[in-house]
Structure 1
Amino acid sequence: MDIVLVAGLWLDGSAWDDVLPELEALGHRGVPVTLPGQGDGRTEATYDEQVEAVVAAVDAADGAPLVVGHSAACTLAWAAADRRPDGVAGVALIGGFPSTEGESYADFFEPVDGAMPFPGWKKFEGPDSDDMSEELKADLLGRMIPVPVGVTRGTVHWTSDARHAVPLTLICPEFSPAEAQEWIDAGDVPELAAATDLRLVDLDSGHWPMYTQPAALARVVDEAARR
Protein backbone atom coordinates (compact mmCIF):
# COMPACT_ATOMS: atom_id res chain seq x y z
CA MET A 1 0.00 0.00 0.00
CA ASP A 2 1.09 3.56 -0.62
CA ILE A 3 1.44 5.48 2.64
CA VAL A 4 1.43 9.27 2.41
CA LEU A 5 3.63 10.71 5.18
CA VAL A 6 3.18 14.28 6.42
CA ALA A 7 5.59 15.59 9.06
CA GLY A 8 4.67 18.32 11.49
CA LEU A 9 5.88 21.87 11.98
CA TRP A 10 9.45 22.80 11.04
CA LEU A 11 10.08 19.50 9.24
CA ASP A 12 10.33 18.55 5.57
CA GLY A 13 9.90 15.21 3.84
CA SER A 14 13.33 14.01 4.95
CA ALA A 15 11.91 13.51 8.45
CA TRP A 16 10.77 10.08 7.26
CA ASP A 17 14.12 8.87 5.88
CA ASP A 18 14.61 6.25 8.61
CA VAL A 19 10.99 5.08 8.39
CA LEU A 20 10.88 4.50 4.64
CA PRO A 21 13.02 1.31 4.55
CA GLU A 22 11.11 -0.08 7.52
CA LEU A 23 7.82 0.43 5.68
CA GLU A 24 9.26 -1.08 2.52
CA ALA A 25 10.29 -4.18 4.46
CA LEU A 26 6.66 -4.49 5.57
CA GLY A 27 5.41 -4.30 1.98
CA HIS A 28 4.52 -0.61 1.69
CA ARG A 29 5.70 2.36 -0.33
CA GLY A 30 6.20 5.47 1.75
CA VAL A 31 5.40 8.78 0.05
CA PRO A 32 6.88 11.66 2.05
CA VAL A 33 5.34 15.07 1.41
CA THR A 34 7.50 18.19 1.53
CA LEU A 35 4.95 20.86 2.31
CA PRO A 36 4.81 24.32 0.71
CA GLY A 37 6.89 26.66 2.85
CA GLN A 38 8.58 23.77 4.68
CA GLY A 39 11.54 22.70 2.61
CA ASP A 40 10.49 23.54 -0.94
CA GLY A 41 12.54 26.73 -1.06
CA ARG A 42 9.59 29.04 -0.51
CA THR A 43 9.40 31.55 2.33
CA GLU A 44 5.69 32.21 1.83
CA ALA A 45 2.89 29.65 1.78
CA THR A 46 -0.62 29.17 3.14
CA TYR A 47 -2.43 26.52 5.10
CA ASP A 48 -4.71 25.88 2.12
CA GLU A 49 -1.67 25.25 -0.09
CA GLN A 50 -0.40 22.68 2.38
CA VAL A 51 -3.79 20.94 2.35
CA GLU A 52 -3.71 20.95 -1.45
CA ALA A 53 -0.24 19.38 -1.42
CA VAL A 54 -1.41 16.50 0.76
CA VAL A 55 -4.54 15.97 -1.32
CA ALA A 56 -2.39 15.97 -4.48
CA ALA A 57 -0.23 13.22 -2.97
CA VAL A 58 -3.39 11.21 -2.24
CA ASP A 59 -4.61 11.68 -5.81
CA ALA A 60 -1.24 10.58 -7.21
CA ALA A 61 -1.03 7.43 -5.08
CA ASP A 62 -1.37 3.92 -6.44
CA GLY A 63 -4.82 3.09 -5.14
CA ALA A 64 -6.33 4.47 -1.95
CA PRO A 65 -3.44 5.26 0.42
CA LEU A 66 -3.14 5.45 4.17
CA VAL A 67 -2.41 9.07 5.14
CA VAL A 68 -0.14 9.60 8.14
CA GLY A 69 0.10 12.97 9.88
CA HIS A 70 2.50 13.92 12.65
CA SER A 71 1.88 16.52 15.36
CA ALA A 72 0.23 19.66 13.93
CA ALA A 73 0.08 17.95 10.53
CA CYS A 74 -2.54 15.60 11.95
CA THR A 75 -4.90 18.33 10.79
CA LEU A 76 -3.48 18.09 7.26
CA ALA A 77 -3.86 14.30 7.21
CA TRP A 78 -7.44 14.57 8.40
CA ALA A 79 -8.06 17.27 5.78
CA ALA A 80 -7.17 14.68 3.14
CA ALA A 81 -9.92 12.45 4.53
CA ASP A 82 -12.26 15.43 4.52
CA ARG A 83 -11.54 16.24 0.86
CA ARG A 84 -11.24 12.61 -0.30
CA PRO A 85 -13.32 10.44 2.08
CA ASP A 86 -13.65 7.74 -0.58
CA GLY A 87 -10.08 8.12 -1.82
CA VAL A 88 -8.14 7.18 1.31
CA ALA A 89 -7.90 3.78 2.97
CA GLY A 90 -7.54 5.40 6.38
CA VAL A 91 -5.72 8.03 8.40
CA ALA A 92 -3.13 7.58 11.16
CA LEU A 93 -2.28 10.44 13.50
CA ILE A 94 1.00 10.57 15.45
CA GLY A 95 1.11 12.61 18.63
CA GLY A 96 -1.51 15.14 17.63
CA PHE A 97 -5.15 15.86 16.92
CA PRO A 98 -7.11 17.52 14.12
CA SER A 99 -7.97 21.15 14.78
CA THR A 100 -11.56 22.17 15.45
CA GLU A 101 -13.61 24.00 12.83
CA GLY A 102 -12.73 27.69 12.74
CA GLU A 103 -9.47 27.38 14.69
CA SER A 104 -6.10 28.59 13.51
CA TYR A 105 -4.00 25.72 12.19
CA ALA A 106 -0.90 26.09 14.38
CA ASP A 107 -0.49 29.61 15.80
CA PHE A 108 1.53 28.40 18.79
CA PHE A 109 4.56 30.73 19.01
CA GLU A 110 5.39 34.31 18.06
CA PRO A 111 6.53 34.73 14.45
CA VAL A 112 9.75 36.43 13.39
CA ASP A 113 9.89 38.16 10.00
CA GLY A 114 6.70 36.48 8.82
CA ALA A 115 7.45 32.94 9.96
CA MET A 116 7.24 30.93 13.17
CA PRO A 117 10.70 29.52 14.01
CA PHE A 118 11.33 26.47 16.12
CA PRO A 119 11.29 27.81 19.71
CA GLY A 120 14.09 25.59 21.02
CA TRP A 121 14.15 22.33 22.93
CA LYS A 122 13.43 23.91 26.30
CA LYS A 123 9.79 24.25 25.22
CA PHE A 124 9.67 20.48 24.77
CA GLU A 125 11.44 19.24 27.88
CA GLY A 126 10.00 16.10 29.46
CA PRO A 127 8.11 13.28 27.75
CA ASP A 128 8.22 15.02 24.36
CA SER A 129 12.00 14.77 24.06
CA ASP A 130 13.30 12.52 26.86
CA ASP A 131 14.15 9.79 24.34
CA MET A 132 16.26 12.12 22.17
CA SER A 133 20.04 12.34 22.50
CA GLU A 134 21.74 15.71 22.67
CA GLU A 135 23.41 14.90 19.36
CA LEU A 136 20.05 14.29 17.70
CA LYS A 137 18.61 17.49 19.14
CA ALA A 138 21.57 19.48 17.86
CA ASP A 139 21.27 17.93 14.41
CA LEU A 140 17.55 18.60 14.17
CA LEU A 141 17.91 22.13 15.50
CA GLY A 142 20.09 22.94 12.52
CA ARG A 143 17.49 21.58 10.11
CA MET A 144 14.30 23.08 11.53
CA ILE A 145 12.47 25.29 9.01
CA PRO A 146 10.52 28.39 10.13
CA VAL A 147 6.87 27.94 9.11
CA PRO A 148 5.22 30.85 7.25
CA VAL A 149 2.48 32.68 9.16
CA GLY A 150 0.21 32.10 6.17
CA VAL A 151 0.35 28.46 7.24
CA THR A 152 0.33 28.75 11.03
CA ARG A 153 -2.46 31.35 11.10
CA GLY A 154 -4.61 29.76 8.41
CA THR A 155 -8.16 28.94 9.41
CA VAL A 156 -9.24 25.30 9.44
CA HIS A 157 -12.54 24.48 7.75
CA TRP A 158 -14.11 21.05 7.37
CA THR A 159 -16.29 20.34 4.35
CA SER A 160 -17.62 16.75 4.48
CA ASP A 161 -19.14 14.79 7.34
CA ALA A 162 -18.15 11.65 5.42
CA ARG A 163 -14.66 12.05 6.94
CA HIS A 164 -16.04 10.78 10.26
CA ALA A 165 -16.46 7.27 8.80
CA VAL A 166 -12.86 7.00 7.53
CA PRO A 167 -10.86 4.44 9.57
CA LEU A 168 -8.77 6.48 11.99
CA THR A 169 -5.82 5.39 14.14
CA LEU A 170 -4.45 7.66 16.85
CA ILE A 171 -0.85 6.68 17.64
CA CYS A 172 -0.06 7.81 21.20
CA PRO A 173 3.67 8.43 21.79
CA GLU A 174 4.33 10.91 24.61
CA PHE A 175 0.82 10.42 26.02
CA SER A 176 -1.11 7.23 26.67
CA PRO A 177 -4.26 5.93 24.97
CA ALA A 178 -6.04 6.34 28.32
CA GLU A 179 -5.09 10.00 28.47
CA ALA A 180 -6.21 10.51 24.88
CA GLN A 181 -9.55 8.87 25.63
CA GLU A 182 -10.02 11.20 28.59
CA TRP A 183 -9.46 14.22 26.36
CA ILE A 184 -11.89 12.87 23.79
CA ASP A 185 -14.55 12.12 26.41
CA ALA A 186 -14.12 15.61 27.89
CA GLY A 187 -14.96 17.18 24.53
CA ASP A 188 -11.47 18.56 23.96
CA VAL A 189 -11.06 16.86 20.57
CA PRO A 190 -14.37 17.12 18.69
CA GLU A 191 -13.05 15.59 15.47
CA LEU A 192 -11.99 12.40 17.23
CA ALA A 193 -15.17 12.27 19.26
CA ALA A 194 -17.16 12.29 16.01
CA ALA A 195 -15.09 9.53 14.38
CA THR A 196 -17.05 6.29 14.07
CA ASP A 197 -14.04 4.00 13.44
CA LEU A 198 -11.32 5.14 15.85
CA ARG A 199 -8.54 3.01 17.33
CA LEU A 200 -6.02 4.21 19.93
CA VAL A 201 -2.55 2.63 19.81
CA ASP A 202 0.31 3.05 22.26
CA LEU A 203 3.88 3.78 21.15
CA ASP A 204 6.65 3.99 23.73
CA SER A 205 8.50 7.07 22.48
CA GLY A 206 8.62 10.84 22.62
CA HIS A 207 7.02 13.28 20.23
CA TRP A 208 9.35 12.57 17.29
CA PRO A 209 9.31 8.75 16.89
CA MET A 210 10.32 8.93 13.23
CA TYR A 211 13.80 9.73 14.55
CA THR A 212 13.91 7.76 17.80
CA GLN A 213 11.74 4.69 17.06
CA PRO A 214 11.48 4.36 13.25
CA ALA A 215 11.03 0.57 13.25
CA ALA A 216 8.40 0.59 15.99
CA LEU A 217 6.61 3.46 14.28
CA ALA A 218 6.61 1.60 10.98
CA ARG A 219 5.04 -1.42 12.69
CA VAL A 220 2.12 0.54 14.13
CA VAL A 221 1.64 2.34 10.81
CA ASP A 222 1.59 -1.09 9.13
CA GLU A 223 -1.10 -2.19 11.58
CA ALA A 224 -3.14 0.90 10.69
CA ALA A 225 -2.72 0.15 6.99
CA ARG A 226 -3.90 -3.43 7.44
CA ARG A 227 -7.16 -2.40 9.11
Structure 2
Amino acid sequence: MDVILVPGFWLDASSWDAVTPPLVAAGHRVHPVTLPGLEDGSEVARHASLGLRDWVDAVVALVDSVDGPVVLVGHSGGGAVIHAVVDARPDRVRRAIYTDSWPTGQGSVINDELPAEGDSIPLPPWEFFEDRDLIGLDDTLRERFRAVARPIPAAAATDPQQLSDSPARYRVPVTVVTCEYPAAEVRRLLEGGLPWFAELATVEDVTYVDLPTGHWPQLTRPQDLGEVLLREVERTAT
Protein backbone atom coordinates (compact mmCIF):
# COMPACT_ATOMS: atom_id res chain seq x y z
CA MET A 1 0.00 0.00 0.00
CA ASP A 2 1.18 3.54 -0.73
CA VAL A 3 1.10 5.61 2.45
CA ILE A 4 1.37 9.39 2.13
CA LEU A 5 2.42 11.19 5.33
CA VAL A 6 1.67 14.91 5.62
CA PRO A 7 3.32 16.75 8.53
CA GLY A 8 1.84 19.55 10.59
CA PHE A 9 3.15 23.09 10.76
CA TRP A 10 6.91 23.80 10.85
CA LEU A 11 7.90 20.22 9.99
CA ASP A 12 9.10 18.60 6.80
CA ALA A 13 9.28 15.03 5.51
CA SER A 14 12.12 14.14 7.89
CA SER A 15 9.76 14.49 10.86
CA TRP A 16 8.39 11.03 9.95
CA ASP A 17 11.80 9.32 9.91
CA ALA A 18 11.37 7.53 13.24
CA VAL A 19 7.73 6.63 12.49
CA THR A 20 8.02 4.86 9.13
CA PRO A 21 10.29 1.83 9.86
CA PRO A 22 7.40 -0.53 10.80
CA LEU A 23 5.57 0.40 7.59
CA VAL A 24 8.67 -0.07 5.45
CA ALA A 25 9.52 -3.38 7.14
CA ALA A 26 6.02 -4.64 6.33
CA GLY A 27 6.54 -3.84 2.64
CA HIS A 28 4.48 -0.68 2.36
CA ARG A 29 5.64 2.23 0.22
CA VAL A 30 5.91 5.39 2.30
CA HIS A 31 5.85 8.91 0.90
CA PRO A 32 6.70 11.51 3.57
CA VAL A 33 5.85 14.99 2.29
CA THR A 34 7.62 18.31 2.53
CA LEU A 35 4.93 20.87 1.77
CA PRO A 36 5.55 23.85 -0.56
CA GLY A 37 7.38 26.65 1.17
CA LEU A 38 9.26 24.43 3.59
CA GLU A 39 11.85 22.95 1.24
CA ASP A 40 14.72 25.08 2.55
CA GLY A 41 15.35 28.50 4.06
CA SER A 42 15.19 30.28 0.71
CA GLU A 43 11.56 29.23 0.29
CA VAL A 44 10.48 31.94 2.77
CA ALA A 45 10.78 34.38 -0.12
CA ARG A 46 7.88 32.54 -1.80
CA HIS A 47 5.53 32.57 1.18
CA ALA A 48 3.54 35.56 -0.06
CA SER A 49 2.40 33.49 -3.04
CA LEU A 50 1.62 30.26 -1.18
CA GLY A 51 -1.49 29.18 0.68
CA LEU A 52 -3.48 26.18 1.83
CA ARG A 53 -4.58 25.25 -1.67
CA ASP A 54 -0.97 24.99 -2.82
CA TRP A 55 -0.39 22.43 -0.08
CA VAL A 56 -3.50 20.49 -1.08
CA ASP A 57 -2.59 20.55 -4.76
CA ALA A 58 0.91 19.22 -4.00
CA VAL A 59 -0.51 16.21 -2.19
CA VAL A 60 -3.16 15.62 -4.87
CA ALA A 61 -0.35 15.55 -7.43
CA LEU A 62 1.45 12.95 -5.33
CA VAL A 63 -1.69 10.80 -5.14
CA ASP A 64 -2.00 11.05 -8.93
CA SER A 65 1.62 10.00 -9.38
CA VAL A 66 1.24 6.58 -7.78
CA ASP A 67 -0.72 3.58 -8.98
CA GLY A 68 -3.60 2.19 -6.98
CA PRO A 69 -5.24 3.26 -3.74
CA VAL A 70 -3.47 5.20 -1.00
CA VAL A 71 -3.71 5.76 2.72
CA LEU A 72 -3.31 9.38 3.78
CA VAL A 73 -1.85 10.35 7.15
CA GLY A 74 -2.10 13.94 8.34
CA HIS A 75 -0.72 15.38 11.56
CA SER A 76 -2.18 18.57 13.07
CA GLY A 77 -2.59 21.12 10.25
CA GLY A 78 -1.82 18.32 7.82
CA GLY A 79 -5.24 16.95 8.71
CA ALA A 80 -6.91 19.82 6.86
CA VAL A 81 -4.69 19.10 3.87
CA ILE A 82 -5.50 15.40 3.65
CA HIS A 83 -9.23 16.06 4.09
CA ALA A 84 -9.20 18.34 1.05
CA VAL A 85 -7.28 15.63 -0.83
CA VAL A 86 -9.93 13.07 0.16
CA ASP A 87 -12.51 15.49 -1.22
CA ALA A 88 -10.57 15.84 -4.48
CA ARG A 89 -9.78 12.11 -4.91
CA PRO A 90 -12.30 10.08 -2.87
CA ASP A 91 -11.98 7.14 -5.26
CA ARG A 92 -8.20 6.90 -4.68
CA VAL A 93 -8.07 7.13 -0.88
CA ARG A 94 -8.67 3.88 1.00
CA ARG A 95 -8.37 5.48 4.47
CA ALA A 96 -7.50 8.86 6.00
CA ILE A 97 -5.65 8.83 9.33
CA TYR A 98 -5.78 12.04 11.35
CA THR A 99 -3.02 12.26 13.96
CA ASP A 100 -4.02 14.64 16.75
CA SER A 101 -6.24 16.29 14.16
CA TRP A 102 -9.57 15.83 12.42
CA PRO A 103 -11.30 16.77 9.14
CA THR A 104 -11.58 20.53 8.59
CA GLY A 105 -14.89 21.56 7.03
CA GLN A 106 -15.76 23.97 4.25
CA GLY A 107 -14.84 27.56 5.09
CA SER A 108 -12.96 26.72 8.29
CA VAL A 109 -9.34 27.74 8.88
CA ILE A 110 -6.61 25.70 10.51
CA ASN A 111 -5.47 28.37 12.99
CA ASP A 112 -5.76 32.13 12.58
CA GLU A 113 -4.32 32.90 16.02
CA LEU A 114 -0.69 32.02 15.32
CA PRO A 115 1.67 35.03 15.40
CA ALA A 116 2.87 35.89 11.90
CA GLU A 117 6.01 37.71 10.84
CA GLY A 118 5.17 39.23 7.48
CA ASP A 119 4.06 36.46 5.13
CA SER A 120 5.41 33.68 7.36
CA ILE A 121 4.65 32.03 10.68
CA PRO A 122 7.73 30.74 12.53
CA LEU A 123 7.50 28.24 15.36
CA PRO A 124 6.30 30.33 18.34
CA PRO A 125 7.96 30.32 21.76
CA TRP A 126 6.98 27.31 23.87
CA GLU A 127 5.02 29.60 26.17
CA PHE A 128 2.52 30.10 23.35
CA PHE A 129 1.32 26.50 23.59
CA GLU A 130 -0.90 24.87 26.18
CA ASP A 131 0.71 22.51 28.68
CA ARG A 132 -1.05 19.51 27.17
CA ASP A 133 0.50 20.31 23.77
CA LEU A 134 3.95 19.83 25.25
CA ILE A 135 3.46 16.55 27.12
CA GLY A 136 6.47 14.33 26.47
CA LEU A 137 8.39 17.07 24.70
CA ASP A 138 11.40 17.29 27.01
CA ASP A 139 14.21 19.81 26.68
CA THR A 140 16.18 17.62 24.28
CA LEU A 141 13.19 17.13 21.97
CA ARG A 142 12.33 20.83 22.15
CA GLU A 143 15.84 21.74 21.07
CA ARG A 144 15.71 19.19 18.25
CA PHE A 145 12.30 20.43 17.09
CA ARG A 146 13.34 24.07 17.11
CA ALA A 147 16.55 23.27 15.25
CA VAL A 148 14.66 21.74 12.31
CA ALA A 149 11.49 23.87 12.42
CA ARG A 150 10.84 25.95 9.33
CA PRO A 151 8.46 28.92 8.97
CA ILE A 152 5.24 28.19 7.12
CA PRO A 153 3.38 30.43 4.68
CA ALA A 154 0.97 32.45 6.83
CA ALA A 155 -1.90 31.97 4.39
CA ALA A 156 -1.73 28.19 4.85
CA ALA A 157 -2.95 28.70 8.42
CA THR A 158 -5.60 31.31 7.64
CA ASP A 159 -6.99 30.41 4.21
CA PRO A 160 -10.54 28.99 4.37
CA GLN A 161 -10.83 25.32 3.54
CA GLN A 162 -12.24 24.75 0.03
CA LEU A 163 -14.28 21.59 -0.47
CA SER A 164 -16.76 20.40 -3.08
CA ASP A 165 -20.44 19.76 -2.42
CA SER A 166 -20.00 16.04 -3.11
CA PRO A 167 -20.76 13.66 -0.23
CA ALA A 168 -18.20 11.12 -1.51
CA ARG A 169 -15.57 12.22 1.02
CA TYR A 170 -17.80 11.11 3.89
CA ARG A 171 -17.68 7.51 2.64
CA VAL A 172 -13.88 7.26 2.96
CA PRO A 173 -13.05 5.49 6.25
CA VAL A 174 -11.31 7.63 8.84
CA THR A 175 -9.05 6.85 11.78
CA VAL A 176 -8.51 9.53 14.42
CA VAL A 177 -5.39 9.04 16.56
CA THR A 178 -6.14 10.98 19.73
CA CYS A 179 -3.13 12.25 21.68
CA GLU A 180 -3.84 15.34 23.79
CA TYR A 181 -7.46 14.40 24.46
CA PRO A 182 -8.66 10.83 24.98
CA ALA A 183 -10.98 9.38 22.38
CA ALA A 184 -13.87 9.31 24.85
CA GLU A 185 -13.61 13.07 25.28
CA VAL A 186 -13.41 13.68 21.54
CA ARG A 187 -16.56 11.60 21.08
CA ARG A 188 -18.31 13.55 23.82
CA LEU A 189 -17.42 16.87 22.20
CA LEU A 190 -18.51 15.57 18.80
CA GLU A 191 -21.84 14.35 20.15
CA GLY A 192 -22.31 17.69 21.88
CA GLY A 193 -22.32 19.45 18.51
CA LEU A 194 -19.04 21.33 18.87
CA PRO A 195 -18.56 23.12 15.52
CA TRP A 196 -14.93 22.02 15.25
CA PHE A 197 -16.10 18.44 14.86
CA ALA A 198 -19.05 19.04 12.51
CA GLU A 199 -17.22 17.61 9.50
CA LEU A 200 -16.03 14.55 11.42
CA ALA A 201 -19.58 13.93 12.63
CA THR A 202 -20.66 13.42 9.02
CA VAL A 203 -18.08 10.74 8.20
CA GLU A 204 -19.74 7.32 7.93
CA ASP A 205 -16.90 5.11 9.26
CA VAL A 206 -14.69 6.46 12.07
CA THR A 207 -12.21 4.54 14.23
CA TYR A 208 -10.58 6.12 17.27
CA VAL A 209 -7.17 5.10 18.60
CA ASP A 210 -5.79 6.49 21.86
CA LEU A 211 -2.09 7.38 21.89
CA PRO A 212 -1.68 9.50 25.03
CA THR A 213 1.05 12.14 24.66
CA GLY A 214 1.35 15.76 23.55
CA HIS A 215 0.67 17.30 20.18
CA TRP A 216 3.76 15.90 18.44
CA PRO A 217 3.63 12.08 18.78
CA GLN A 218 6.07 11.65 15.88
CA LEU A 219 8.64 13.21 18.24
CA THR A 220 7.50 11.95 21.65
CA ARG A 221 6.23 8.44 20.76
CA PRO A 222 7.42 7.73 17.20
CA GLN A 223 7.70 3.95 17.48
CA ASP A 224 4.25 3.67 19.01
CA LEU A 225 2.79 5.94 16.34
CA GLY A 226 4.46 3.81 13.67
CA GLU A 227 2.83 0.68 15.08
CA VAL A 228 -0.57 2.38 15.19
CA LEU A 229 -0.25 3.46 11.56
CA LEU A 230 0.88 -0.03 10.54
CA ARG A 231 -2.17 -1.64 12.18
CA GLU A 232 -4.53 0.79 10.48
CA VAL A 233 -2.86 0.37 7.08
CA GLU A 234 -2.76 -3.43 7.38
CA ARG A 235 -6.44 -3.78 8.23
CA THR A 236 -7.27 -1.35 5.41
CA ALA A 237 -5.26 -3.33 2.89
CA THR A 238 -7.00 -6.65 3.65
Q: TM-score, normalised to structure 1's length?
A: 0.94
CA distance in 2, matches of 1:167, 1:100: 16
State the 1:71 CA deviation. Answer: 0.5
CA distance in 1, matches of 2:148, 2:158: 22
Aligned equivalent of 2:14: 14
The one of 141, 148, 154 equivalent to 1:143 is 148
Q: From 159, 171, 175, give the equivalent of 2:177.
A: 171
Instruction: List, as ranges, runs of 4+ consecutive aligned residues in structure 1 with deviation greater than 6 Å.
Output: none
Write the letter of the residue equivalent to 2:19.
V
Aligned pair partner of 1:68 in 44, 62, 73: 73
Gap regions ≥5 residues in structure 2 = none
What is the aligned partner in structure 1 of residue 62 from structure 2? Answer: 57
1:136 & 1:106 partners in 2: Cα distance?
A: 24
Q: Is the Cα contact below 8 Å between 1:38 and 1:146 reproduced in 2?
A: yes
Residue of structure 1 equivalent to 2:186: 180
1:220 aligns with 2:228: yes
Measured in 2, the distance between the counterparts of 1:174 and 1:104 equals: 20
Tell me which amino acid in the other structure corresponds to 2:104: S
How far did 1:209 drift?
Answer: 1.1
Distance 1:110 1:125, change over 3 A: closer
Q: How many residues align?
A: 227
Partner of 1:32: 32
1:125: Cα distance to partner? Answer: 4.4
Give the counterpart letter for 1:22 in structure 2: P
Which residue of the partner structure matches residue 97 of structure 1? 102
- Partner of residue 207, structure 1: 215
Aligned partner of 2:123 among 112, 118, 122: 118
Residue identity over aligned pairs, in percent, reads: 36
Structure 2 Cα separation of the partners of residues 192 and 38 of structure 1: 28
Instruction: Give the whole-Å Cα distance in 2 for the aligned partners of 1:129 and 1:90.
Output: 28
Partner of 2:92: 87
Helix, strand or coil at the partner of 1:127: helix
* Bigger helix share: 2
CA contact (8 A) 2:22 2:230 kept: no
| Distance in 2 (alpha carbons) for counterparts of 1:171 and 1:136 | 21
Question: Unaligned regions of 5+ residues in structure 1, if any?
Answer: none
Q: Take 1:165 and 1:139, find their aligned partners in 2: how far apart are those partners?
A: 39
Q: State the distance in 1 between where 2:111 and 2:200 align.
A: 18
8 Å Cα contact 2:135/2:215 also seen in 1: no
Equivalent-residue separation in structure 1 for 2:136 and 2:155 (angstroms): 32
Q: Does 1:23 align with 2:31?
A: no
Separation (CA, whole Å) in 1 of partners of 2:75 and 2:66:
19
Contact 1:72 1:97 in 2 (8 A): no
Give the structure-2-normalised TM-score. Answer: 0.90
